[in-house]
A and B are shown apart, each in its own frame.
Chain A
Amino acid sequence: MPEPSATPMNFAFAGPGPARANGRSVAVIGAGPSGLAAAGFLACLGYRVDVYDKLPKPGGLMVFGIPAERIPAGRIAQGVETLANHYGVSFHPCTKVCDRRQVDDTGDEFSTRCIDLDELVRGHDAVMLATGSWKPRRLNVPGEDLRGVYTGLAFLFPIRAAQYDRSRMSEINVAGKNVVVIGAGFSAIDVAHGALGQGAARVSMLYRRTRREAPCGSHEIELFEAAGGQWLELVTPVSILGEHGQVEGIECIQCHLGEPDEDGRRRAVPDSCAKMVLPADIVVGAIGETASPPFAERLGLESVRKNEIHWLQMTQMEGVFVAGDALSGPSKIGKAVYSGLRAAQSLSRWLTLKGINREFEYREEPPITREDLR
Chain B
Amino acid sequence: MAPDETMTNVDETILFIDYSRCIGCESCESACRFIHGQARINMTRTVGGIMAPVYCRHCEAAACIKACPRGALQKGADGAVLLNPVLCAGCETKSCILACPFGGIFCTGLEDAVAKCDLCQRRRSVGMAPACVEMCPCGAMHLVTRREALALATPEYEAAHRKVMEHVRPVLAPLKRRDQE
Determine the distance from Cα of A62 to Cα of B126 in the docked complex, in whole angstroms: 30
The reply to whether the CB of B31 lies closer than 8 angstroms to some CB of chain A is yes
Determine the distance from Cα of A334 to Cα of B140 in the docked complex, in whole angstroms: 14
Determine the distance from Cα of A334 to Cα of B51 in the docked complex, in whole angstroms: 12
B11-47 near A? 1/0 per residue, CB < 8 Å: 0000000000001011111110111000000010111
Determine the distance from Cα of A6 to Cα of B128 in the docked complex, in whole angstroms: 14
- A218 and B134: CB pair below 8 A? no
Determine the distance from Cα of A333 to Cα of B26 in the docked complex, in whole angstroms: 7
- B133 and A333: CB pair below 8 A? no
Determine the distance from Cα of A5 to Cα of B35 in the docked complex, in whole angstroms: 23
Given A217-B45, A334-B28, A338-B34, are A5 and B148 also a contact pair (CB < 8 Å)?
A: yes
- B31 and A70: CB pair below 8 A? no
Given A33-B27, A333-B25, A333-B27, are A5 and B144 also a contact pair (CB < 8 Å)?
A: yes
B33 contact set on A, CB distance < 8 A: 338
- A333 and B34: CB pair below 8 A? no
The reply to whether the CB of A14 lies closer than 8 angstroms to some CB of chain B is yes
Determine the distance from Cα of A211 to Cα of B107 in the docked complex, in whole angstroms: 31
B49 contact set on A, CB distance < 8 A: 214-220
The reply to whether the CB of B129 lies closer than 8 angstroms to some CB of chain A is yes
Q: How far is the CB of B39 from chain A (nearest CB, A)?
A: 10
Q: How far is the CB of A315 from chain B (nearest CB, A)?
A: 22
Q: How far is the CB of A162 from chain B (nearest CB, A)?
A: 22
Q: How far is the CB of B128 from chain A (nearest CB, A)?
A: 5
* Chain B residue nearest in CB terms to A10: B134
Interface size in chain A (residues, C-beta < 8 A):
37
Contacting residue for A219 out of B50, B128, B139, CB 8 A: B50
* Chain B residue nearest in CB terms to A372: B33
Q: How far is the CB of A250 from chain B (nearest CB, A)?
A: 26
- B127 and A16: CB pair below 8 A? yes
- A332 and B126: CB pair below 8 A? no
A196-225 near B? 1/0 per residue, CB < 8 Å: 000000000000000000111111101000
Of A71-79, A170-178, A241-249, A278-286, the one with at least 4 CB within 8 A of chain B: A71-79
- A70 and B138: CB pair below 8 A? yes
A300-342 near B? 1/0 per residue, CB < 8 Å: 0000000000000000000000000000000011110110011
A31-69 near B? 1/0 per residue, CB < 8 Å: 001000100000000000000000000000010001000
Q: How far is the CB of A73 from chain B (nearest CB, A)?
A: 10
The reply to whether the CB of A262 lies closer than 8 angstroms to some CB of chain B is no
Determine the distance from Cα of A219 to Cα of B52 in the docked complex, in whole angstroms: 13
Interface size in chain B (residues, C-beta < 8 A):
39
- A341 and B138: CB pair below 8 A? no
Determine the distance from Cα of A63 to Cα of B49 in the docked complex, in whole angstroms: 23
Determine the distance from Cα of A244 to Cα of B114 in the docked complex, in whole angstroms: 65
The reply to whether the CB of B146 lies closer than 8 angstroms to some CB of chain A is no
Determine the distance from Cα of A235 to Cα of B33 in the docked complex, in whole angstroms: 40
The reply to whether the CB of B117 lies closer than 8 angstroms to some CB of chain A is no
A333 contact set on B, CB distance < 8 A: 25-27, 137
Determine the distance from Cα of A307 to Cα of B139 in the docked complex, in whole angstroms: 35
- B142 and A334: CB pair below 8 A? no
- B50 and A337: CB pair below 8 A? no
B50 contact set on A, CB distance < 8 A: 217, 219
B152-179 near A? 1/0 per residue, CB < 8 Å: 1000000000010000000000000000
The reply to whether the CB of A140 lies closer than 8 angstroms to some CB of chain B is no
- B142 and A335: CB pair below 8 A? no
- B126 and A16: CB pair below 8 A? yes
* Chain B residue nearest in CB terms to A216: B49
Given A3-B139, A214-B49, A334-B28, are A71 and B134 also a contact pair (CB < 8 Å)?
A: no
The reply to whether the CB of B82 lies closer than 8 angstroms to some CB of chain A is no
Determine the distance from Cα of A220 to Cα of B163 in the docked complex, in whole angstroms: 13
A8 contact set on B, CB distance < 8 A: 134
Determine the distance from Cα of A169 to Cα of B47 in the docked complex, in whole angstroms: 39
- B142 and A219: CB pair below 8 A? no
Within 8 A of B (CB), among A4-33: 4-11, 13-14, 16, 33
Determine the distance from Cα of A218 to Cα of B163 in the docked complex, in whole angstroms: 13
Of B26, B129, B142, B144, which is in contact with the most chain A CB atoms at under 10 Å from its CB? B26
* Chain A residue nearest in CB terms to B145: A5
* Chain B residue nearest in CB terms to A186: B23
Determine the distance from Cα of A335 to Cα of B25 in the docked complex, in whole angstroms: 8
Of B27, B45, B163, which is in contact with the most chain A CB atoms at under 10 Å from its CB? B27
- B26 and A72: CB pair below 8 A? no
- A9 and B29: CB pair below 8 A? no
Given A335-B26, A341-B30, are A7 and B138 also a contact pair (CB < 8 Å)?
A: no
B contact set with A: CB distance below 8 Å: 23, 25-31, 33-35, 43, 45-51, 126-129, 131, 133-139, 141-144, 148, 151-152, 163
The 4 closest A-B pairs by CB, nearest first: A217-B49, A334-B26, A219-B48, A338-B30
A contact set with B: CB distance below 8 Å: 3-11, 13-14, 16, 33, 37, 62, 66, 70-72, 75-76, 214-220, 222, 332-335, 337-338, 341-342
